[in-house]
């Protein structure tokens, strides 16, 4: 009996000691390759505060980014897995575009076999290429033109929703109202369904939207798909792509719009200029916004671009190396399976790329100044063949929404407005949401 206990203890001790050696060896990976890296925390690597929901991943990546100001890249550890953070814009361009054939995949999800992980954003190589070419026409100019009217059809509902807040003199949570609006838009334009998030206090789709990143993907898509077409339930690829269109399609524009209203509330002179532009475009088109006149909302687009620079919902995105890649002008050679991260938040907030980076300054995106932006330093929608498939759809949706709101209402800070906004540390990499909502005062002009 005694000897069994001794043997058992020895086995456990051996496993434990081997584990410690394994972790130590792993944490030497970047040192051995001569890549700058800050000290990892045993077992957690650099992700401890992210795992425990204390800090958003963007800020953890930003610490690594800033720790070596002149480095072209820095190494971190995702728990035990090495992850290379790319800082040099030229190298970002190589990875996303020029040498895309080495980096066409994203890092696989931890549960890659899950039936809802077979979507365009996760699929590798050839399967991704096939699905992307099948889904690209969803956002062609002809399709966008037809979606324009569908989007516009929510303007009256949005207007009466906001009017209720003005009449009752209540502060409005821009995050909530924008979430309801984009839930309705995605439901109608992509699923062909009335989600009624703005009209119906008990809309089950708004309920899903609120939980979309908190509950398991399975329960969301099952609920959606049951309403769409039961036959689809057998097809993992269709189900997965509907799931990604729903989750990406509702959250990113709603977060951007709520930050935009926040920035406009804090900068009334910029808000006034956007409103003046909207009124001018409406006047020139008999009081209505047309698909073609969207292009005339030049300043509005500058404001949205600056909002996306400061508060990009895709605060970072990843690539997987699939073919050996010697980094140009460096001795580092990437091997298949190596992970890379493009730290969008840090690149957008780097003084070298955008002077005075925390200042909300839409002029950075004027026709003249836009040309001066260093290539691959503005990555709001990513870049290269895997760029956001719906970037034009999102810009159209956001412009229509701002037109509806700003032509009648004025947004200003109130006693509940948090300045600066705290970011929810429990969000995923593809989200950058305010923790406590975006509370504003809304009044009629």
What does the binding site for ligand HEM look like in residue numbers (CB under 6 A)? 120-121, 132, 190, 244-245, 248-249, 252-253, 256, 308, 312-314, 317, 380-383, 386-390, 393-394
**CB–CB of 277/295 below 8 Å?**
no
Nearer to ligand HEM, 289 or 389 (CB): 389
Unique residue bearing structure tokens 């920035």:
263
**Distance of closest approach, residue 383 Cβ to ligand HEM, in angstroms:** 6
**Distance of closest approach, residue 143 Cβ to ligand HEM, in angstroms:** 12
CA distance 79 to 61: 14
**Distance of closest approach, residue 168 Cβ to ligand HEM, in angstroms:** 30
Q: Residue 214's closest CA among 260, 251, 245?
A: 251
H or E stretch at 425: none
Per the structure block, which two tokens stand in for 315?
Answer: 């605060």
**CB–CB of 78/47 below 8 Å?**
yes
Nearer to ligand HEM, 203 or 255 (CB): 255
Tell me: cis bond preceding 268? Omega within 30 of 0 counts. Answer: no
Instruction: Give CA 149 to chain center in angstroms.
Output: 26
Q: Compute the radius of gyration of the chain from its Cα atoms.
A: 24
CA distance 84 to 335: 12
**Distance of closest approach, residue 261 Cβ to ligand HEM, in angstroms:** 14
**Distance of closest approach, residue 246 Cβ to ligand HEM, in angstroms:** 8
Q: Which residue number places its CB atom closest to ligand HEM?
A: 382
Nearer to ligand HEM, 279 or 430 (CB): 430
Cβ-based neighbours of 167, under 8 Å, separated by 6 or more: none
**Distance of closest approach, residue 304 Cβ to ligand HEM, in angstroms:** 8
Nearer to ligand HEM, 103 or 165 (CB): 103
Cβ-based neighbours of 30, under 8 Å, separated by 6 or more: 36, 37, 75, 82
Nearer to ligand HEM, 46 or 399 (CB): 399
Nearer to ligand HEM, 40 or 344 (CB): 344
Q: Where are the alpha helices (DSSP H) in 285-337?
A: 298-310
**Distance of closest approach, residue 122 Cβ to ligand HEM, in angstroms:** 8
Nearer to ligand HEM, 108 or 382 (CB): 382
In total, the chain counts a number of residues equal to 445
Unique residue bearing structure tokens 């929703």:
161
**CB–CB of 209/187 below 8 Å?**
no
Nearer to ligand HEM, 26 or 424 (CB): 424
**Distance of closest approach, residue 348 Cβ to ligand HEM, in angstroms:** 11
């Amino acid at each position: 009996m005694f000897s069994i206990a001794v043997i058992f203890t020895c086995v456990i001790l051996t496993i434990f000691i081997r584990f410690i050696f394994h972790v130590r060896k792993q944490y030497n990976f970047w040192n051995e390759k001569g890549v700058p890296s800050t000290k990892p925390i045993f077992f957690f690597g650099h992700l401890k505060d992210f795992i425990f929901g204390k800090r958003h991943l963007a800020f953890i990546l930003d610490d690594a980014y800033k720790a070596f100001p002149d480095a072209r890249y820095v190494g971190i550890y995702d728990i035990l897995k090495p992850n290379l953070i790319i800082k040099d814009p030229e190298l970002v361009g190589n990875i996303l575009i020029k040498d895309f054939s080495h980096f066409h995949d994203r890092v696989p999800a931890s549960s890659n076999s899950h039936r809802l992980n077979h979507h365009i954003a996760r699929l590798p190589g050839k399967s991704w290429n096939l699905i992307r070419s099948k889904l690209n026409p969803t956002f062609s100019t002809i399709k966008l033109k037809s979606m324009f009217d569908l989007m516009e059809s929510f303007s009256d509902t949005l207007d009466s929703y906001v009017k209720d807040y003005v009449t009752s003199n209540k502060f409005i949570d821009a995050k909530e109202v924008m979430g309801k609006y984009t839930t309705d838009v995605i439901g109608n334009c992509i699923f062909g369904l009335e989600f009624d998030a703005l009209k119906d206090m008990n809309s089950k789709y708004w309920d899903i939207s609120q939980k979309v990143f908190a509950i398991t993907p399975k329960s969301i898509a099952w609920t959606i798909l049951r309403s769409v077409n039961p036959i689809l339930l057998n097809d993992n690829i269709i189900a997965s792509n509907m799931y990604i269109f729903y989750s990406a399609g509702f959250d990113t524009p709603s977060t951007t719009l709520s930050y935009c209203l926040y920035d406009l509330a804090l900068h009334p002179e910029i808000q006034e200029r956007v409103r003046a532009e909207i009124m001018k475009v409406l006047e020139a088109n008999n009081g209505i916004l047309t698909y073609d006149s969207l292009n005339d909302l030049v300043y509005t687009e500058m404001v949205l671009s600056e909002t996306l620079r400061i508060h990009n919902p895709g605060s970072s995105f990843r690539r997987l190396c699939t073919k050996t890649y010697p980094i140009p002008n460096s001795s580092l050679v990437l091997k298949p399976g190596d992970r890379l991260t493009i730290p969008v938040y840090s690149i957008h907030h780097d003084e070298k790329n955008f002077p005075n980076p925390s200042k909300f300054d839409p002029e950075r995106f004027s026709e003249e100044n836009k040309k001066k932006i260093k290539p691959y330093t503005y990555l709001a929608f990513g870049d290269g063949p895997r760029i956001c498939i719906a970037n034009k759809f999102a810009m159209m949706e956001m412009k229509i929404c701002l037109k509806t709101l700003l032509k009648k209402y004025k947004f200003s800070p109130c006693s509940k407005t948090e300045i600066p906004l705290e970011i929810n540390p429990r969000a995923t990499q593809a989200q950058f949401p305010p923790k406590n909502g975006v509370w504003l005062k809304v009044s009629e002009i």
